[in-house]
């Protein structure tokens, strides 16, 4: 719609890569809605970004699928057009932990939440696309996806033999499978529809591994030597959300700002489809949707 700012919904926007992606989109004249789980952090970030553009906030703990669904439904009720959904929130859990809904936390936050949020707000994305501004979904994955071993379909949540790095890698592989399979399923809508892509932001100096004991310390020490800044890490997300050169590009994986073939099992179409269906069932089971 002419004269109206484009609008992005960004998860994990209270710090790190998500916050810097919000800042960059505001500089491009977008309106942003920041999602966070802590009201004080949201207030602080909204204050930090004051004067740079229109900033709204939404509260949700995205490891809880019912809260993710409620967030999506609130957005639907507001009815405001959405031109980009950036699924960025993510974490690494050591040792294994379950959410209050009985889902393994890595799988819930890193995979099932972006899966379900995207599908819940799809009508808003579709409405923008119908008005000639094709909406874009960005899923923040990781290069770590290539380390993931083939997951057993009857134990996607690692009830057996949990290893934090494998659980993280599996969730980031699932991000890529989701993107590829969702793009394939949306393809029937023809050109001009919603696009969806995954991005590895780079090795970024954020607080990502804090609070994870020895493993966090080990990775932080190792990675801090090569890490880029959060603003640099945000560039890939921002490009996927806004670069006109990427109009119509969908189902792809980018490393920072460059399209790459996914590694490991990333191109396995059968697993992508099977995990998509399993995720839809798990989401429905927890949110009690039909």
Ligand X SMILES: NC(=O)c1ccc[n+]([C@@H]2O[C@H](COP(=O)([O-])OP(=O)(O)OC[C@H]3O[C@@H](n4cnc5c(N)ncnc54)[C@H](OP(=O)(O)O)[C@@H]3O)[C@@H](O)[C@H]2O)c1
Interface ranges with ligand X (CB under 6 A)? 12-18, 36-38, 41, 61-63, 88-91, 109, 140, 142, 200-201, 203-204, 206-208
Q: Between 156 and 203, name the residue whose CB sits nearer to ligand X.
A: 203
Q: Between 117 and 129, name the residue whose CB sits nearer to ligand X.
A: 117
Q: Are 231 and 206 in contact (CB under 8 A)?
A: no
Distances (CA, A) of 122 to 4, 85, 200, 251, 285: 20, 10, 23, 16, 20
168 is annotated as an active-site residue:
yes
- 228-233-236-239 Cα dihedral, nearest 10 degrees: -110
Q: What are phi and psi of 23, to 5 degrees?
A: -60, -45
- The least distance separating ligand X from the CB of residue 206, rounded to whole angstroms, comes to 3
Q: Can you give the length of the chain in residues? A: 290
Q: What pairs with residue 211 in β-bridges?
A: none
Tell me how far apart the alpha carbons of residues 165 and 74 are, in angstroms, rounded to a whole number.
Answer: 34
Tell me how far apart the alpha carbons of residues 279 and 113 are, in angstroms, rounded to a whole number.
Answer: 10
Q: Between 9 and 17, name the residue whose CB sits nearer to ligand X.
A: 17
Peptide bond into 17 cis (omega under 30): no
Q: Between 117 and 183, name the residue whose CB sits nearer to ligand X.
A: 117
- The least distance separating ligand X from the CB of residue 170, rounded to whole angstroms, comes to 12
- The least distance separating ligand X from the CB of residue 41, rounded to whole angstroms, comes to 5
- The least distance separating ligand X from the CB of residue 184, rounded to whole angstroms, comes to 23
Catalytic residue among 92, 162, 168, 253: 168
Catalytic residues: 168
């Amino acid at each position: 719609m002419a004269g109206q700012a484009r609008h992005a919904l960004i998860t994990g926007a209270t710090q790190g890569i998500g916050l810097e992606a919000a800042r960059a989109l505001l500089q491009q004249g977008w309106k942003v809605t920041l999602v966070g789980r802590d009201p004080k952090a949201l207030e602080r970030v909204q204050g930090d970004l004051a004067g740079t553009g229109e900033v709204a906030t939404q509260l949700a703990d995205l490891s809880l699928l019912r809260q993710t669904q409620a967030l999506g439904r609130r957005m639907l009720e507001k009815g405001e057009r959405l031109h980009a959904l950036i699924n960025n929130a993510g974490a690494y859990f050591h040792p294994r932990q379950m959410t209050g809904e009985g889902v393994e936390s890595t799988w819930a936050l890193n995979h099932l939440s972006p899966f379900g949020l995207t599908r819940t707000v799809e009508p808003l994305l579709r409405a923008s696309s119908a008005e000639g501004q094709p909406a874009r979904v960005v899923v923040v994955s990781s290069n770590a996806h290539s380390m993931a071993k083939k997951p057993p379909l009857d134990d996607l949540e690692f009830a057996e033999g949990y290893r934090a790095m494998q659980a993280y890698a599996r969730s980031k592989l699932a991000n890529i499978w989701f993107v590829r399979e969702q793009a394939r399923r949306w393809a029937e809508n023809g050109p001009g529809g919603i696009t969806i892509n995954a991005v590895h932001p780079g090795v970024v100096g954020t607080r990502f591994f804090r609070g994870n004991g020895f493993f966090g310390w080990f990775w932080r020490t190792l990675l801090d030597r090569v890490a880029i800044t959060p603003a640099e890490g945000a560039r890939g997300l921002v490009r996927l959300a806004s670069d006109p050169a990427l109009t119509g590009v969908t189902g792809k994986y980018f490393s920072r700002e460059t399209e790459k073939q996914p590694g490991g099992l990333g191109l396995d179409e059968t697993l992508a489809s099977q995990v998509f269906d399993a995720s839809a069932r798990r989401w429905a089971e927890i949110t009690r949707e039909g």
